Amino acid sequence: AMSRPLCPYPEVARYNGTGDIWDAGSFMCVPPIEIRIEPETLNLKSKGVFTAFITVPEGYSLADWNIGNLSCEGAVAVKGKFSGNTYIAKFNRQDLMGMTPGDAVTLTVKGTFEVDGQTALIQAGDTIRVIGKAPKRRKK
């Protein structure tokens, strides 16, 4: 039988990445997250960074939840800072992998929450417009 922890609203149960997916002990209660990617149109031919704003409901401080291991479509976060209930992460455009241009492309941000010695995986996305083609990577 499957079990999950009973989480106080608005928190949700998230997998820790290692235990039995059927066991409540492999999950922890975390605040739900929302992701907003800027700019809303991403040009793959351009260099520089794009930003992911990771937000939890009012009353939570993301600094208490130790966000880590952030990546977005193969790009690892190069900078990050807390601002109340939002974590602002920067990613290099040229580090994105396998992006296909389109008017409605979902970029997924993945990472971890760590609190009180426990870890939970987090994942959410935002849909933006992607233009241009990524430059071909040189073979080493």
pLDDT digits (tens, 9 = 90+) for 46-86: 889 999 999 999 998 888 888 999 999 999 999 999 998 99
Residue type at 20?
D
Kindly report the pTM of this predicted structure.
0.87
User: Does the pLDDT at position 100 exceed 70?
Assistant: yes
Question: Which tokens hold the place of 140?
Answer: 């080493």
Cα 31 to Cα 10: distance, rounded to the nearest angstrom: 6
Pairing of β 86-92 and β 102-115 = unpaired
Q: State the Cα–Cα distance between residues 79 and 122, nearest whole angstrom.
A: 18
- pLDDT band of residue 134 (cuts 50, 70, 90) is low
pLDDT digits (tens, 9 = 90+) for 60-69: 888 888 899 9
Residue 4 has pLDDT above 60, yes or no: yes
**Residue 133, pLDDT score:** 75
